[in-house]
Each structure stands twice: as C-alpha cells, then as structure tokens.
C-alpha cells in the first residue's frame, strides 16, 4: 500500500511540477502546525475520558452529538471526489484522477473494505463493516434506541460545527482541509472515547472503535493517520488560485468549533429514554455495569 500511495503522489507532483509542489508543501506544513499546536490537543476531556469519569448517560450524549458529524463525513468525502474536477481549471485534463485515487482509499475504508496493514494489499469487505453501520451498532450496544436517535436534537454547538462543515462542500481546498482536521480529531478523541465507553460495560474490542485511531495502535485496524496524510497531499496538488491566508483562518475557525463541541456539558442533552429514568435508577444501572 505504501508503494501504491507513493505512485499516486509522484503523479500529483508531476501534474504541478516539483517547484510548485515544494511551495505548496511548505504551506501544508503551516496548516498542519496550526492543527497540531491548537489547544484542543490538550483538551481536559481527553484525560477525563481516559480516566473513565463519564457516566453512561454522558457517554450516550457524547456519542449522539458526535453522530451528527459521523453521518456527514462520507458525504463530505464524496463531495470532495466531485469537487476535485476544479483542478482541471488550472491543470491539464485528467489531473483530478490522482486526487480521486487517494480519496477512494479513504472512502473504501469508510464503506467497509479493508486490508491488513503490512501485508500485500488484497482488499476484502462487507457493508456491515462500513463505519456508519458500525457506529449505529455501537449506539445499540449503548442502549440508544432507534426512537432515541430519531428524537434527539443536537446542541447548538454541534449544529454550528455541522453547518460549518456543510458550508464547505463547494469549496474544494477548504473541504479537503476540514476533512484532514476531522481525521485529526478522530485520532485525538476516539481512543479515550473507547476507554470510557468500554469501562461502562459496552463492548468495544471490535466494531466502530476497532477501525478508528492510528495505524500504529496494535489494538485496532485503523488507518486514520494515512487518510489524514493523503488529504494534505491532495491539497498540496490543490485547486489553484485560492487565498491561503483565508484558508488558514477558516481552519482555525473549524478547530475552534471542535473545541466548543468538546466544551459542552454532556450531562444535559439526554436521549429521550434517559429522561424518563429517575436519578436513583440511573445510579443503580451504573453500579450494575461496574459490578
């Protein structure tokens, strides 16, 4: 797979020229540094979830708020596939194929295809392994009913984040950037979400949390780090003529919105079925889970 990716990157470099590519990669580094140095990387909720401080109700709410973004992520990837046509405004015909090749590796992963990292690249797959279905199965394991999912209204912070993501669908460079940032968020928060969720008796050894994180984690089959890197490389090929300073500012806004998402009080926006349970019953259920 490393060689497959490198061949695609070599073709992208040839499509813009080495000098322009190096200039673009310098700018990519500034974007990546903005993401890596943002305070969200040390958000206190990371340590709180690592220490398994959140109740079942709070983790249900966290996952239901998160679900609003999970459900549009593949939409955004598919939109990036479509918007890659814009590179041909400034490059030779066919140049969009290189971006679409790397984006396809991400969408294959999302839709349930997989291969063993470190082994010859022989794809297998089933829709039941698609990340969306795995996430919905996780909701069921967390005692979140279909009716709960239907009636849940995301918080204002979540809706702002979602709308910002949706608003980038027509802006190819920004959309690629937001997708890369979203992959970074997954790598920061998925491991500790898995820890806290598992501590509540919810099975996390397989399923959604098996395919999210980084490829170096021996406890999963995730490759979000590969996908994030692919997105930065696709952006380095670029659509041409975009305002770099504006893109940098928009990136900061998006990360700030993610920080606001994680700042919210997850004890408040309960799913419908949890609103009907008295506090003493909730505590009894929690004690039974830990028993």
Domain locations in the chain? 2-290
Question: What is the average pLDDT score of the chain?
Answer: 87
165-187 per-position pLDDT tens digit: 999 999 999 999 999 999 999 99
Task: Quote the pLDDT of residue 214.
Answer: 46
| Token code pair at residue 157 | 């912070």
Task: Quote the pLDDT of residue 277.
Answer: 62
Report the distance separating Cα 87 and Cα 123, nearest Å. 29
Whether the Cβ atoms of residue 183 and residue 231 lie closer than 8 Å to each other: yes
Task: Quote the pLDDT of residue 16.
Answer: 87
Closest-CA residue to 4 (of 124, 180, 107, 122): 122
Task: Quote the pLDDT of residue 215.
Answer: 45
| Token code pair at residue 213 | 């994180």
The dihedral sign for the CA sequence 9, 13, 18, 19: negative
190-248 per-position pLDDT tens digit: 999 999 999 999 999 888 998 875 445 555 554 557 778 899 999 998 756 678 899 99
Report the distance separating Cα 33 and Cα 275, nearest Å. 42
Closest-CA residue to 80 (of 4, 6, 182): 182
Instruction: Report in angstroms the alpha-carbon separations of 95 from 4, 81, 232.
Output: 17, 12, 16
Task: Quote the pLDDT of residue 290.
Answer: 46
Calculate mean pLDDT across residues 260-272. Answer: 96
115-166 per-position pLDDT tens digit: 666 666 677 778 888 899 999 999 999 999 999 999 999 999 999 999 999 9
96-106 per-position pLDDT tens digit: 898 999 999 88
The domain covering 2-290 belongs, at the CATH homologous superfamily level, to: Heme oxygenase-like (1.20.910.10)
Report the distance separating Cα 91 and Cα 240, nearest Å. 9
pTM of the full structure: 0.88
Candidate from 20-29, 146-155, 254-263 with smallest mean pLDDT: 20-29
**Is the pLDDT assigned to residue 80 strictly greater than 60?**
yes
């Amino acid at each position: 797979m490393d060689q497959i990716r490198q061949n695609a990157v070599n073709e992208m470099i040839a499509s813009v020229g080495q000098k322009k590519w190096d200039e673009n990669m310098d700018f990519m580094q500034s974007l990546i540094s903005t993401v890596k140095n943002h305070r969200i990387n040390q958000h206190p909720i990371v340590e709180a979830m690592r220490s398994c401080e959140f109740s079942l109700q709070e983790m249900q709410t966290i996952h239901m708020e998160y679900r609003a973004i999970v459900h549009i992520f593949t939409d955004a990837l598919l939109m990036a596939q479509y918007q890659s046509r814009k590179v041909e405004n400034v490059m030779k015909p066919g140049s969009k194929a290189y971006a679409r090749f790397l984006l396809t590796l991400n969408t294959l992963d999302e839709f349930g295809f997989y291969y063993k990292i470190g082994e010859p690249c022989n794809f297998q797959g089933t829709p039941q392994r698609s990340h969306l279905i795995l996430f919905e199965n996780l909701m069921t394991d967390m005692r979140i009913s279909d009716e709960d999912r239907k009636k849940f209204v995301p918080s204002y912070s979540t809706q702002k984040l979602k709308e910002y993501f949706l608003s980038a669908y027509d802006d190819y460079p920004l959309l690629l950037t937001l997708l890369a940032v979203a992959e970074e968020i997954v790598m920061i928060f998925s491991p500790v979400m898995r820890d806290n969720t598992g501590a509540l008796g919810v099975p996390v050894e397989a399923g959604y949390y098996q395919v999210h994180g980084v490829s170096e984690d021996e406890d999963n089959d995730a490759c979000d780090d590969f996908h994030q890197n692919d997105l930065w490389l696709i952006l380095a090929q670029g659509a041409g003529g975009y305002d770099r300073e504006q893109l940098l500012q928009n990136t900061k806004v998006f990360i700030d919105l993610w920080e606001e998402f994680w700042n919210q009080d997850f004890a408040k926006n309960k799913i419908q079925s949890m609103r009907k349970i008295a506090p003493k019953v909730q505590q009894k259920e929690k004690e039974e889970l830990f028993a």
